[in-house]
Amino acid sequence: MLSRTADHLYWMARYTERAENLARLLDVSYQMSLVPQSVAAQNENWRAILALNSLEAAFAEVYDEVNVDNVLRFMVADPANPSSIYTCLRAARENAHAVRGTLTAEMWESVNATWIELRQQTFEQIHSRGVSEFFDWVKLRSAVIRGVTFGTMLKDDSLHFIRLGGLLERGDNTARILDMQYHILRNGDEGASDFYRWGALLRSVSAFQVYRKVYRDAITPGRVAELLILRMDMPRSLHACADGIVHMLQLIANGASAETERQAGVLHARLHFARIDDVLTSGLHEYLTDFMDRIYDLGDGISRDFLVPA
């Protein structure tokens, strides 16, 4: 298939997935901010969200103060923020528009309708209805788009590039969410409120019930990390994403992609054969940073080999 077409499909999927995970991240942060704590500690959490996306400077240009309302407005609906949900869904729609002939009619319509519906809402409207409802809507639209994609698209390279983009983005995003929350939780006061926070983190990646089912035991940081990093059967875990990436790369391989395939294989092996105790001992933050760097390099390789060849 045409490299540019693959590029648009891949980025359409990445932006859709990014919007969904952003909704998940903001939702969990919002939920956690409801747990009793000092205003200063709360705002520290919102600052961490900006830092996670390297957005402190862009934010400071427009807003005076880091607080829940400002950060939500900035991350949800600000067209000037390159990483807002608004911007992500617009980018997803623009990428889809550029290759709408490649998409099934239902797919194009679901991506387009999501954008049209989003564009019609102001932040005030979103806020007055409750931001959680909005985050649910984003997750639902992402699920609809994913469902229509798998339910209607021919299983050819178009679908493989869509899946590849989604998996890469999801792996990166899960690592980011975990890294940030883990950091906050480790630095927080020990106590009963931690239970709610870990619960909220698990819920943000739809893993609360999964956790209960898998461990049938109290929520501990180590087990949460294990679930989200190493469990192959947990669809949003790093291991599951890496596994899917390796598989997709096999399906689309060309004469130039051997090195990228090798790197994906290494990444997968590091997850497949890892033990959570080792990961925690050597430092979770370091481990996650390394993972994100590797994902970044894979994205680079995929661009070079398939999407934007010289």
Partner 1 sequence: MSTQFYNEMYDAAGTLRPHYQAFAEWLAAMPPERLARKQVEADTAFHRVGITFAVYGEEAGTERLIPFDIIPRIIPAAEWTALQAGLWQRVKALNAFLNDIYHEQEILRAGRIPAEQVLNNAQFRSEMMGVDVPSGIYAHIAGVDIVRAGAGESYVLEDNLRVPSGVSYMIEDRKMMMRLFPELFSRHMIAPVQHYPDMLLENLRTVAPKGVTNPTVVLLTPGAYNSAYFEHTFLAQQMGIELVEGRDLFVKDETVFMRTTQGPQRVDVIYRRLDDDFLDPLVFNKESMLGVPGLLSAYRAGHVTLANAIGAGVADDKSIYPYVPEMIRFYLGEEPTLNNVPTWMLRKPDDLKYVLAHLSELVVKEVHGAGGYGMLVGPASTAAEIEDFRTRIIAAPEKYIAQPTLALSNCPTFVESGIAPRHLDLRPFVLSGKQIGMVPGGLTRVALREGSLVVNSSQGGGTKDTWVLEN
Residues that bind partner 1 (CB under 8 A): 1-6, 94, 97-102, 105, 108-109, 112-113, 157, 161, 252, 254-256, 306-307, 309
CB of 95 to partner 1, least distance (A): 10
Nearer to partner 1, 12 or 49 (CB): 12
Report yes or no: 193 and 237 within 8 Å, Cβ to Cβ: no
Token pair belonging to 281: 């001992």
Nearer to partner 1, 100 or 127 (CB): 100
* Helix H or strand E segment including 237: none
Nearer to partner 1, 1 or 48 (CB): 1
Report yes or no: 114 and 141 within 8 Å, Cβ to Cβ: yes
CB of 162 to partner 1, least distance (A): 13
Q: How many residues comprise the chain?
A: 310
Token pair belonging to 291: 């993972």
CB of 62 to partner 1, least distance (A): 24
Measured between alpha carbons, how far is 163 from 247 in angstroms, rounded to an integer?
A: 10
Token pair belonging to 7: 């590029």
Burial of 191 (0-12, 13-18, 19+ CB in 10 A): exposed
CB of 93 to partner 1, least distance (A): 11
CB of 262 to partner 1, least distance (A): 18
CB of 1 to partner 1, least distance (A): 5
Give the angle 74-80-84 at the CA atoms, nearest 5°: 50
Measured between alpha carbons, how far is 181 from 194 in angstroms, rounded to an integer?
A: 11
Nearer to partner 1, 112 or 193 (CB): 112
Nearer to partner 1, 58 or 113 (CB): 113
Report yes or no: 102 and 149 within 8 Å, Cβ to Cβ: no
Nearer to partner 1, 59 or 108 (CB): 108
